[in-house]
Structure 1
Amino acid sequence: METTTMFTNDASVLGLLAIMLGLVFYTANSTNRHWQRFYSIVPAVLLCYFLPSLLNTFGIISGKESNLYYVASRFLLPTCLVLLTLSVDLKAIAGLGKKAIILFFTGMVGIIIGGPIALLIVSSFSPDLLGVDGPEAVWRGLTTVAGSWIGGGANQAAMKEIYGVGDQIFSAMITVDVIVANLWMAVVLILAANAKQIDAKSGADTSAISRLQEKVENFQQQHARMPTLNDLMIILAIGFGVTGFAHIFADLITPFMVDNYPTLDRLSFHSKFFWMIVFATVVGIGLSFTRFRKLEGVGASRVGSAMLYILIASIGMKMDVTMIADAPIYFVIGIIWMAIHASLMLFVAKMIKAPLFYMAVGSQANVGGAASAPVVASAFHPSLAPVGVLLAVLGYTLGTFAAWFCGQILQTIS
């Protein structure tokens, strides 16, 4: 039986998604104890994916017919990547200490190798997972999980476009991504609650965290101010301006690559979207070395994050929640994958006697990105939340490239 979509006008669809996001953020920050209890169990970011998917599943809107995702992925995604990487302070990240950086990159390596290893393990008793190369191929879907777990939603969307991931497998992988990632986050928060005992037992030196806490508080006091209309217009000018040039760059270099390097299609060098994302990310990093980085003090990353959540909602509306029942084997892959990441993180943290804070935030800067790394950091101390953002921005910066590399490995073994 054919189903009719209730809302087909994209302006109406955007309005519904915006109202939904507003309600999620309003209730997530409510002082009502019932809402606080609810969000202590259900992460707000999960609802930002899940609620739009219900609208799609029950025919209120249609993820297939709507052009919102295309607009969000082509216009808002590169813009939010610019604004998120604009604030990265590579010198400050290095100042966090080598143990924090070691654990961040350990987490990244765990994701890069964990996916291919998990796929090989599960394919040993489910061989039909390999040998498929269409849009719905499992390996393609796993690249979007890698993107999400090495950065966040923006990197996930980038992988979907770069590797041409089909909507059906993408829907299943979003479900795996969100549920498995939030299970690990719950474990990390439990560990954070017992950080003092764990650090004392492992003999970790936590004095650097105290100094870091003081430094972060001083930086916030020096740079934070109320944004003016002038500030916001400059933020939008930079974000959308770089996005415009990213499209021009992609339009020029892609035909050049196709004509002169036909064999590089496998490396995504024939994808306009790939070059657009590379350009936006590289320029964003470049701008972080200029005075434009001070725009973070007036909310550059918050504007970028707002765009990211619109993108997340547009991704969610392409999901069909009935796919959960069809994806148990994908959950097995996801759980093994996360177990490899977690085991590697815990092992390295113990070997170098790193404070639990570095392990927890380093992991979430990869797996959860800006949505959850600050949450985990603030579980240790509220003033440390920006440290989570700082490492999450590094995850955003490297996420597209690292996830792309993971995708190359997945493609090779498949």
Structure 2
Amino acid sequence: MPDVQTAAPLITNDIVVFGLIAATLGAIFWAASGPTPFLQRFFKVVPALLLCYFIPAIYNTTGLIDGINTPLYNPVARDVLLPAALVLLTLSIDLKGIFGLGPKLLIVFAAGTLGVMLGAVVSFLLFDWLHPVTVEGDTWAGMAALAGSWIGGGANMVAAREVFEVDATTFGQFAVVDVAVASLWMAVLLYLAGRSEELDARSGVDTRALDELKAKAAAYEAQHARIPSLTDLMVIVGTGFGIVALAHALGGVIAAWFAANVSWAAQFSLTSSFVWVVVLSTTMGLLLSFTRARRLEGAGASKIGSLLLYFLIACIGMQMDLLALLDRPWLFALGVVWMSVHIICLLIAMKLTRVPLFYFAIGSQGNIGAAASAPVVAAAFHPSLAPVGVLLGTLGYATGTYLAYVTGLILKTLAGQ
């Protein structure tokens, strides 16, 4: 396999690279908005997220840029944009509202989360027996990153990637597995949404609680939505990056304390200042969700968080070796087995709680798709239910990094490392 970085890249100015990446993301999202019938059909098949990974990867693979050695990823994207995205994606969480939606919804959602964690272990053990090459090396670390995505979202995936120091190529391979398997499952859920009334009637479940959910969701949306002012945007940006600064200031001190006083801290990455930056950023975002700062979501806090996240994703894509993505097709089979365990856990929870199909679908997408696609699936059942998808999706964001860390430690042990 040729080393595409043996020669100097065509573009060596990091500011030009920054502009290229920003323009690329702008073009992708403009095209994904569907200005022509062809693009509408194209993006129904090819998710915009996949292009955000792969177009920058093409730049790197062809030698247009050097995505590995540019400072755009580290420290800019990793150390600044990632924690800021975590803050802005978690400060909007309405935990009281989520608990008010009823215990059955949360039970199904928790079953989906358990299914992702259990699926990681089951698929690892199965392929360790069936096809050991599939899970050799740092595959366990890539799986930990994917667990972050399937419990929370892209920010959690990236956070887990940094915590476990996943190789860029391995991360890219699991990013492909993520998009391919999750997109296929989302298509199945959207199909089931169109038959939900028929299926619920056939199963004889009580849908009165679902009707109440629709009313609550509509009220929440009407209460918080507004056109953002310049002051709103300044406060959102100031809050996100201000907390990033605080997290970095405290993270280094905490990591140093653990290194000096706790003998086993390094084994659990507690001596890494970056781990503490991620934990502190997520925790502070959660604490803000109990204050008036949560109202910033109505002005687009999560949208700005997503903007930072997509730039981060593009910077990760810049480090990928696309040719290496063809080396491990068995990873797709591993992803299918993993997702199957998740689905089985959801079906068991749905059967035990006797809930409508909506609970099953949103319990899954609240994990697998998080706030990015959970509202889409929720809206497929009823437009007013989209905010419910946001609520569960943001709950996934809140727990994704923590639980991916736990999953990663389990997989690391299974891998004998």
2:91 is aligned to: 86
Gaps of 5+ in 2: none
Tell me which moved more, 251-260 or 352-361: 352-361
TM superposition shift of 1:380: 1.3
TM superposition shift of 1:131: 7.1
- Identify which of 60, 64, 70 aligns with 1:56: 60
- Aligned-partner Cα distance in 2 for 1:282–1:306: 21
- Aligned-partner Cα distance in 1 for 2:54–2:382: 30
* Residue 269 (str. 1) matches residue 270 (str. 2): yes
1:324 is aligned to: 325
- Identify which of 15, 19, 23 aligns with 1:15: 19
1:15-414 matches, cutoff 5 A: 15-70=19-74, 71-128=76-133, 132=137, 137-414=138-415
TM superposition shift of 1:22: 1.3
Gaps of 5+ in 1: none
Q: AA paired with 1:256?
A: W
TM superposition shift of 1:130: 6.1
Per-residue CA deviation, residues 289-346 of structure 1 (Å, 9 max, x unaligned), is 1111111111111111111111111122222222231111222211111111112112
Q: 4+ residue runs of structure 1 moved beyond 6 angstroms?
A: none
TM superposition shift of 1:3: 4.0
- Aligned-partner Cα distance in 1 for 2:162–2:263: 19
Tell me which moved more, 31-40 or 153-162: 31-40
TM-score relative to the length of structure 2 = 0.94
The percentage of counterpart residues that share the same residue type is 47
Q: AA paired with 2:231?
A: N
* SS state at 2:130 partner: coil
TM superposition shift of 1:173: 1.6
8 Å Cα contact 1:364/1:376 also seen in 2: yes
TM superposition shift of 1:412: 1.1
TM-score relative to the length of structure 1 = 0.95
Tell me which moved more, 35-44 or 404-413: 35-44
* SS state at 2:27 partner: helix
8 Å Cα contact 1:118/1:333 also seen in 2: yes
- Aligned-partner Cα distance in 1 for 2:351–2:50: 31
- Aligned-partner Cα distance in 1 for 2:82–2:314: 12
What CA RMSD, in Å, does the superposition of the two structures yield over aligned residues?
1.6
- Aligned-partner Cα distance in 2 for 1:226–1:293: 16
**Number of aligned residues:** 410
8 Å Cα contact 1:148/1:155 also seen in 2: yes
- Aligned-partner Cα distance in 2 for 1:371–1:248: 30
TM superposition shift of 1:158: 0.7
Per-residue CA deviation, residues 244-292 of structure 1 (Å, 9 max, x unaligned), is 0100111101111011112121212111111111101111111111111
Distance 1:16 1:284, change over 3 A: same
8 Å Cα contact 1:52/1:313 also seen in 2: yes
8 Å Cα contact 1:85/1:393 also seen in 2: yes
- Aligned-partner Cα distance in 2 for 1:195–1:224: 28
